[in-house]
A and B are shown apart, each in its own frame.
Chain A
Amino acid sequence: MDLLDFAIYVAPPYVVGIFAFGATYRLLKYLLFWKRAPRPERRKRGAGHLAKELVMTFLDPIIQSIKRKPHDFITGLVMLHILGVIPLIFLLSQHIAFFAYWFPPYALLEPFAIPLSATTGALSAVSPIKPVSEMQWGFVNTIWGPLTIILNGDVLAILAILGVSYKLGDKIVRRAQGLHHVRLGDFFDLTLLLLILVFGFLAAHHLPSGDIVTYRLMLGIHIILAEALVALLPFTKFWHFVFSFWFGKLHEWYDLKYTRGV
């Protein structure tokens, strides 16, 4: 068994186990600190207002970011999140195949699969022949059609790599300026993400050499690093995507919009 086999066929249950332990610990902490206290009378607003404000609570930071920090909006939100890691992680066809192996219902997302490269994507736009594939399902024919010229692993990975690099650079500059809110954990998390992206990209392109041993090693490193990220997720800032983003914004809505009637 090499690293790749270990990463694909052995590690996942352990990774999920560590993640579950960490997540339980983080969530229990909230319960532990919870104290019951009488609530103020809320300022009553209509259901329509509250629903609109729920959406706005999530949208306002994005609007502010476009207005006040457009470069952060483009690199951080658009390149890194919206175009980069979110579709890459969840919809890259290879990822869907991997997730579906361990969790079969995940295969339901197959129609949304994103191909690995622009070549496969280009075929769906320019080829007069309906593509055929030996595989279980043909991801060239997914719902995205010609959009796959952009929506493909290569382009998205490059955008994500640029986004992470911008973030890393920004942190380095800030640290050099003596801003102490930049933490060691930020560098660790971003470097880990960057390495995952780079090794994934190398594996997908059979780099640095085309032999099978190197390929399996590159892909093995890519997957094992990604598994490290998932296992460490409750202890790093990646937790924001599983919990704190949703908790934070819902709490803010409950506090300002629901209770205080803002």
Chain B
Amino acid sequence: MVEVDWVSYDPGRVKAAAESIASHMDPVMVHFIENCVSCAACETACPYYAVGEEYGPVNKAENLRKLTRSQLSILPKIFPWLFHAGVPRSAEELNKWAEMAYRCTNCGLCYVTCPFGIHSGEMIKLVRGFLTKTGRVPTALKAMIDLEVSTAYNQVEGFKKLWSEVLEKAKEAAGGELPLDKKGAKYLYITSLAEAMISPEAIVSAVKILSTMGVDWTMPSDPLSIRAPVGALAGDGEAAAETIKRIYNYIKEIGPEYVVLSDGGYPYTSFRFDLPKIVGEKPPFKVIHFVELVLEAAKRGEIKFKKGDEKVTWHSPCKMGRFAGLIEEPAEVLSMASSNFRKLASHGLFNKCCGGGNAIACVVLPTLNFLGKLTGMNMKISKEEMEFLKNLEHDMHIAGKAKIDEIKESGADVVATACVGCIHTIRMNARVYGLDVAVKNIVEVLADKIEKA
């Protein structure tokens, strides 16, 4: 297991890490790496471009090109200086690579803006994978990955307490015992400890919706993950696959027709679209988000809405909108729930990113302190990493400003969204920019408005 290390430089480790990354290529990644014309059309789309020109997608992704050129191409191996090939050659350079790789939320705005369909974010993810193998991984992220892969989170007192409190509230919302781990149930609701920490109300509301609808449902008695697959955020494909496979086996044991999620961030996209490739088969169940469940039930006339007039808007999480196609559906459901629903200026394919996704919001110091208090874990952070984290937090506020501005402009009192990372980031950034707004998971907004028809 790799140890976190923000201080030293080990050439052997760097070399092995570079070789490992270069051995995981596919045709799409080859296209991303080889076909950039360096036009920089992608750069203004990126939330981190606001922090500095060097954080434009192509400039950040160039590190992967340097790395792969040094491993996979003949001429660049012989003339590295001529072809810009190579890996970091000092501790400082490694830290610089980390600084760049952690200024990416994997939002995909560069992907849809590039005239050649190059997703720099996916390339940056591989750079993170490389860095993780050299030890450059934020301590908090590494801790979460290790806890998730080993399932040791189930022994952490703070987490156990948190989970039982959430289940207790959910029980109240359901008006009776929860149907936990019920084999053969039609719907299996999957959540995570991250959701329990950041938006526990989302879990309670999800349970309330399922109970109101009167469907045959179940949920796990113990949390299945910190926020599966958290390894993906560090570019750690192996850790991500291990968790996904474990949860897949649990789902198969229960045998539902549908797996339902309230978290529309990367867990949704991972289970909805990445799962078959990871487990090597087509799953015998469908993966849906609550928005789909509610919308379908409303269309079939099984539920109706008590329409309110809350000034509510919708922030589309990148993973749920751009990467999972649910762009208009949440807006449709929200307009059934409130006569005062309004779209954000950037609503649509080019919806602005919150600025804190892809582990950024979950490793910055306020989150670290919160985690420390909750779990009693004492994470030792080196001076170098501390510096990295402070700067990251500062830049996250800059990257997220455009989102806060458009929320302000919308005049909404409530921001509905669906991703734990978005909720956490928008709350933190709203505080910084003095915006008084409630940020909720969409299921919280819907739960009180739904009635059985």
Which residue of A45, A245, A251 is within 8 Å of B28 (Cβ)? A251
Binary flags per residue of B289-320, CB closer than 8 Å to A gives 1, else 0: 00000000000000000000000000000000
Binary flags per residue of B338-373, CB closer than 8 Å to A gives 1, else 0: 000000000001100000000000000000000000
Contact B31 A248 (CB under 8 A): yes
CA distance A232 to B88 in the complex (A): 30
Residue of B with least CB distance to A40: B273
Name the residue in B34, B41, B61 with the highest tally of chain A Cβ atoms < 10 Å from its Cβ. B41
CB contacts under 8 Å to A, within B11-36, are 25-31, 34-36
Contact A38 B45 (CB under 8 A): no
CB distance from B322 to the nearest CB of A (A): 6
Looking at A57-65, A83-91, A133-141, A155-163, the stretch in contact with chain B turns out to be A57-65
Given A30-B27, A182-B38, residue A248 in contact with residue B59 (CB < 8 A): no
CB distance from A173 to the nearest CB of B (A): 11
Binary flags per residue of A145-189, CB closer than 8 Å to B gives 1, else 0: 000000000000000000000000001001001111111111000
Given A38-B277, A256-B112, residue A262 in contact with residue B54 (CB < 8 A): no
Contact B30 A179 (CB under 8 A): no
List A contacts of B31 (CB < 8 A): 30, 244, 247-248, 251
CB distance from B8 to the nearest CB of A (A): 24
Contact A184 B273 (CB under 8 A): no
A98 at the interface (CB under 8 A from B): no
Residue of B with least CB distance to A29: B30
Contact A38 B282 (CB under 8 A): yes
B115 at the interface (CB under 8 A from A): yes
Looking at B125-133, B153-161, B173-181, B323-331, the stretch in contact with chain A turns out to be B323-331
List A contacts of B350 (CB < 8 A): 60, 64
CA distance A183 to B321 in the complex (A): 34
CB contacts under 8 Å to A, within B103-123, are 111-118
List B contacts of A68 (CB < 8 A): 44-45
Contact A30 B30 (CB under 8 A): yes
Number of A interface residues in the complex (CB < 8 A): 54
CB distance from B84 to the nearest CB of A (A): 6
Residue of B with least CB distance to A76: B39
CA distance A39 to B25 in the complex (A): 18
CA distance A188 to B322 in the complex (A): 36
B376 at the interface (CB under 8 A from A): no
Residue of A with least CB distance to B113: A64
Binary flags per residue of B38-72, CB closer than 8 Å to A gives 1, else 0: 11110011000000011010110110001000000
CA distance A256 to B41 in the complex (A): 20
CB distance from A84 to the nearest CB of B (A): 15
List A contacts of B61 (CB < 8 A): 181
CA distance A69 to B113 in the complex (A): 12
List B contacts of A62 (CB < 8 A): 115
B280 at the interface (CB under 8 A from A): yes
Residue of B with least CB distance to A167: B39
CA distance A18 to B193 in the complex (A): 58
CA distance A68 to B30 in the complex (A): 28
Residue of A with least CB distance to B35: A244
List A contacts of B402 (CB < 8 A): none
Contact A178 B54 (CB under 8 A): yes
List A contacts of B39 (CB < 8 A): 72, 76
CA distance A38 to B38 in the complex (A): 33
Given A38-B277, A248-B118, residue A33 in contact with residue B25 (CB < 8 A): yes
Contact B273 A259 (CB under 8 A): yes
Given A179-B54, A252-B117, residue A69 in contact with residue B277 (CB < 8 A): no
Given A33-B30, A183-B84, A256-B112, residue A239 in contact with residue B35 (CB < 8 A): yes
Residue of A with least CB distance to B83: A184
Which residue of A40, A180, A240 is within 8 Å of B272 (Cβ)? A40
CB contacts under 8 Å to B, within A235-262, are 237, 239-240, 243-245, 247-252, 255-256, 259-262
CB distance from A63 to the nearest CB of B (A): 9
CB distance from B187 to the nearest CB of A (A): 17
B37 at the interface (CB under 8 A from A): yes
Contact A252 B59 (CB under 8 A): no
List B contacts of A179 (CB < 8 A): 53-54, 56, 59
Contact A252 B38 (CB under 8 A): no
CA distance A122 to B41 in the complex (A): 37
List B contacts of A76 (CB < 8 A): 39
A35 at the interface (CB under 8 A from B): yes
Which residue of B27, B58, B325 is within 8 Å of A34 (Cβ)? B27
Contact A69 B322 (CB under 8 A): no
A43 at the interface (CB under 8 A from B): yes
List B contacts of A2 (CB < 8 A): none
Contact A72 B117 (CB under 8 A): no
A37 at the interface (CB under 8 A from B): yes
CA distance A238 to B146 in the complex (A): 45
Contact A262 B325 (CB under 8 A): yes
Residue of B with least CB distance to A253: B117
CB distance from A250 to the nearest CB of B (A): 8
B222 at the interface (CB under 8 A from A): no
Name the residue in B325, B327, B350 with the highest tally of chain A Cβ atoms < 10 Å from its Cβ. B325
List A contacts of B54 (CB < 8 A): 178-179
CA distance A180 to B115 in the complex (A): 20
Which residue of B44, B118, B321 is within 8 Å of A69 (Cβ)? B44
Residue of A with least CB distance to B29: A33
CA distance A2 to B220 in the complex (A): 82
Contact B59 A180 (CB under 8 A): yes
A211 at the interface (CB under 8 A from B): no
CB distance from A10 to the nearest CB of B (A): 28
- Give 24 pairs: A residue, B residue, CB < 8 Å, sorted on A: A29-B30, A38-B280, A39-B276, A40-B274, A40-B275, A40-B276, A41-B286, A43-B324, A61-B113, A61-B115, A64-B350, A69-B41, A174-B40, A179-B54, A179-B56, A182-B38, A184-B84, A240-B116, A248-B114, A249-B115, A251-B31, A260-B323, A262-B323, A262-B325
Beyond the given A37-B277, A61-B41, please list 6 additional residue pairs across the A-B interface where CB-CB is below 8 A.
Answer: A60-B113, A69-B44, A72-B40, A248-B117, A261-B325, A262-B321
Chain B interfacial positions (CB closer than 8 Å to A): 25-31, 34-41, 44-45, 53-54, 56, 58-59, 61-62, 66, 82-84, 111-118, 272-277, 280-282, 286, 321-325, 327, 349-350
Across the A-B interface, the 4 shortest Cβ-Cβ residue pairs: A252-B117, A261-B325, A244-B35, A248-B117
